[in-house]
Amino acid sequence: MTVKAERLGRSIDRAYQWAFRSFLVLAYAFLALPIVLILLMALNAGELLEFPPKGMSLRWFVALFDSEIFIKAILTSLQVAAVATCVSGLLGTAAALYFVRHAHRFREALRVLMIAPLLLPEILTAIALLFFVHQIGVGNRGGFGLYVGHTMITLPFVFLNVSAVLYNFDRSIELAARSLGGRTWTVFRRITLPMIKPGVFAGCMFAFVVSFDLFAVSLLLKGIGQSTIPIQLYDYLRWDFDPLAAAVSSVSILISLGVVLLADRIVGLRALRF
């Protein structure tokens, strides 16, 4: 009876593992399918954005790199995302350090304030920032509001990732360094920062990818003559429906993937797991 029960238990375990793996495969396929379709439609030799493609060709990628408007939009998106990532990286890391180590009385209020952009709809944040930059007399000159908006939206990602690392941080190492004569800045630069580096890089990676694809904030806060890639793609699809849009989307996907691979080369994706 015991042997039969063990065999039954093993059969149930194998069935459970098979069902779980099948579910994972289907889930990943469901998530990856739109990306695969976009890449295939970008290689379409036909004149319309459709699937299945009518032949395979790189003509739309050539058209993309010959398009001054789209190249300018991509460069603008990269510039805005880079600036927003650097600023949110500095501010988010500083805020996380203060929140975990020094905030006591207003800890929860500070946490809610830092993650508020994630709790509110993006369009509401964009409208509020639009009113704010006009009230202070800045407007959209020089894209100031655009940079502020992207920084505000991406800041919570750095804050949450760095905070997660700091909660598991062993401060005895810092105390040992200070007892040996290390100054505050030296201890932070040589001890604290290298140990929280995975959280900083993870937050900055999320910040860059999110900023690169922001639409509502970019639409309302862009300066005169500025256009990020989501806005330019939206304007293009209003009048044209050819595979050039899929080629632009494919390049955006590859850029986001490149950021992830860069993070893997610098700190390793395994280091980003807490």
Q: Which residues pair with 56 in a beta bridge?
A: 44
Nearest residue to 234 via CA among 42, 70, 39, 31: 70
Instruction: Provide the b/e sequence for 12-27 (b: ≥16 CB within 10 Å).
Output: eeeeeeeeeeeeeeee
pLDDT at residue 9 tops 70? no
Tokens of 102: 């020094």
Residue extents of the structural domains in the chain: 63-272
- According to the CATH classification, is domain 63-272 in 1.10.3720.10? yes
pLDDT at residue 267 tops 80? no
pLDDT one-digit tens code per residue, 35-90: 888 888 888 877 777 777 777 878 888 888 888 888 998 999 999 999 999 999 99
pLDDT one-digit tens code per residue, 163-201: 888 887 777 777 777 777 767 777 777 877 888 888 888
